[in-house]
């Protein structure tokens, strides 16, 4: 089947490459000529497991091509996936839909009769209806559907090829049949498929993100209580997560969530609910957001206390810049927020990350970066573990103790082996856990 994927950012590049891999003929479209040239040369413009190989394979086979022209896209196919960004507005919490609207305005006049425009971008409920109204003037025979993505950065290719569910928000049997055909390999593999109206499909995505964000903020709120009570939040989370009604996933206490989805999506959801007169129903999301932001401040404050109340004249080694492991994405990264705050308060900060340093340097040029873990920690008075890359769990604590000034570490992700670090002579501290349960030097 022929299709276009408009927007070759994170979601669009993955979707285009995966659709080509399962046999479709795909044209990826973006206004960024440099990005399109990179993709056309068979190189993925972002770090994502298995994505490079899929892009190379798709381009080599001829099933995956790229263009900067929406007119070419309209001529190429009658099925168009819209995957452009929906960032937070600069002046408020609502979603900025200018890129979605720009695609509709640019593509609409060129669409052939019967074209299907399928949104994958995360949008406020009602966007599909609004777009359909606009296309009624630009392309009267075109139709709109919504097919939200549920990708996790770091495993997006796997999540596309082996999704936990497919949601098709459609307004006609024809659109339903067409999208079922697109995902036929997944349907044959037994992936659950839900056919809904477009508004419900839009809400499934934002409701899912809101629920997961709430679980993360809940366990981090419990971490604050644990610190006050002398309890251990990691043990609490395991015991609570053993309840089948709750489950262990996303009950990982630590620095909190970031990235391009959860923070802006829960804010946009709350803003849209206010517009619909249902703001009170999701008022709790404001506290979810506040708890998450507070985790960053608490981490900085905890680090400052460990250094005797001041960062002035101190050296701090930072492990992690990406917002999560497996990605080079630093958008709204909690790790970078903490590193920047520590530097602003007087510390000399050196940051390590295995993938995200170029992106981090672009947004936080005042920090010092290195691809060498010992170099990041050299002469450090404190090491901060801020992104849970597997490389950091593989560190030999005894060897690293030989390069720091003071063997003191704050594990803001609660994944390092406290006893191994303590046995190597480190004073090991972690969020939501009392010193008595950690072992090691005090």
**Dihedral (C-alpha) 230, 232, 237, 242: value to the nearest 10 degrees?**
-110
415-424 tens-digit pLDDT = 999 999 999 9
Q: What is the pLDDT of residues 186-208, one digit of tens each?
A: 999 999 999 999 999 999 999 99
CA–CA separation, 63 vs 57, rounded Å? 9
pLDDT tens sequence across 54-97? 999 999 999 999 999 999 999 999 999 999 999 999 999 999 99
Helical H segments across 62-112, by residue range: 70-76, 98-107
Are 363 and 333 within 8 A, CB to CB?
no
- Whether 13 shows a pLDDT value over 50: the answer reads yes
State the burial class of residue 251 (Cβ atoms within 10 Å of its Cβ: 0-12, 13-18, 19+).
buried
Q: Where in the sequence numbering do the catalytic residues fall?
A: 261
What is the model's pLDDT at position 402? 97
Using the predicted structure, report yes or no on whether residue 442 has a pLDDT greater than 50.
no
Residue 42 backbone zone (phi > 0: left; psi -120 to 50: alpha; other: beta): left
**Percentage of the chain with pLDDT > 90?**
98
Distance CA(46)–CA(9), nearest Å, equals 8
User: Alpha-carbon distance 42 to 86, whole Å?
Assistant: 26
CA distance 335 to 114: 47
What's the whole-model pTM score? 0.94
* Closest CA relative to residue 168, chosen from 123, 211, 205, 206: 205
Rounded Cα gap, residues 49 and 8, in angstroms = 17
Q: Domains of the chain (ranges plus CATH)?
A: 2-196 (3.40.50.720), 197-442 (3.40.50.720)
**pLDDT, tens only, 172-185:** 999 999 999 999 99
Q: What is the mean pLDDT of residues 202-226?
A: 97
Instruction: Tell me the pLDDT tens digit for each residue of 321-370.
Output: 999 999 999 999 999 999 999 999 999 999 999 999 999 999 999 999 99
Question: How high is the pLDDT of residue 441?
Answer: 46
Instruction: Return the closest-CA partner of residue 125 out of 180, 197, 194.
Output: 197
State the Cα–Cα distance between residues 182 and 1, nearest whole angstrom.
Answer: 7
Residue 220 makes CB contacts below 8 A (sequence gap 6+) with: 253, 254, 256, 291, 292, 295, 431, 432
pLDDT at residue 20 tops 60:
yes
What average pLDDT does the structure give for the chain?
96
């Amino acid at each position: 089947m022929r299709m276009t994927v408009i927007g070759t950012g994170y979601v669009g590049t993955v979707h285009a490459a995966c659709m080509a891999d399962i046999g479709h003929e795909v044209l990826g479209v973006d206004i960024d000529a440099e990005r399109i040239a990179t993709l056309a040369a068979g190189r993925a413009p972002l770090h994502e497991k298995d994505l490079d190989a899929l892009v190379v394979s798709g381009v080599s086979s001829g099933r995956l091509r790229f263009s900067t022209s929406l007119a070419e896209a309209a001529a190429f196919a009658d099925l168009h996936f819209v995957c452009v960004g929906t960032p937070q507005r600069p002046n408020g919490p609502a979603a900025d839909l200018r890129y979605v609207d720009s695609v509709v305005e640019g593509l609409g006049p060129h669409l052939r009769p019967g074209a299907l425009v399928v949104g994958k971008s995360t949008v406020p409920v009602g966007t599909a209806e609004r777009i359909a109204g606009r296309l009624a003037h630009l392309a009267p025979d075109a139709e709109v559907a919504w097919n939200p993505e549920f990708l996790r950065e770091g495993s997006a290719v796997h999540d596309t090829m082996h999704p936990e569910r497919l949601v098709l928000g459609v307004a006609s049997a024809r659109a339903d049949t067409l999208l079922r055909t697109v995902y036929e390999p997944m349907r044959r593999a037994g992936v659950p498929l839900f056919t809904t109206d477009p508004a419900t499909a839009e809400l499934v995505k934002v409701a899912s993100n809101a629920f997961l964000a709430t679980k993360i903020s809940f366990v981090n709120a419990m971490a604050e209580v644990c610190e006050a009570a002398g309890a251990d939040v990691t043990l609490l989370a395991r015991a609570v997560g053993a309840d089948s009604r709750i489950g262990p996933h996303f009950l990982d206490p630590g620095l909190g969530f970031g990235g391009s989805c959860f923070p802006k999506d829960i804010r946009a959801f709350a803003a849209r609910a206010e517009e619909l007169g249902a703001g009170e129903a999701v008022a709790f999301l404001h506290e979810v957001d506040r708890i998450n932001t507070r985790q960053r401040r608490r981490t900085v404050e905890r680090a400052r206390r460990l250094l005797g109340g001041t960062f002035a004249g101190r050296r701090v080694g930072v492990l992690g810049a990406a917002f999560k492991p497996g990605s080079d994405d630093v958008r709204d990264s909690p790790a970078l927020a903490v590193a920047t705050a520590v530097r602003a308060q007087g510390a000399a900060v050196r940051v390590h990350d295995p993938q995200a340093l170029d992106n981090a340097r672009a947004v936080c040029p005042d920090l010092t970066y290195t691809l060498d873990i010992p170099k990041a920690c050299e002469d450090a008075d404190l090491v901060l573990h801020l992104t849970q890359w597997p490389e950091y769990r593989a560190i030999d604590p005894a060897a690293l103790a030989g390069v720091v000034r003071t063997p003191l570490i704050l594990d803001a992700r609660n994944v390092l082996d406290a006893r191994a670090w303590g046995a190597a002579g480190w004073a090991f501290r972690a969020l939501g856990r009392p010193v008595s349960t950690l072992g090691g030097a005090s």
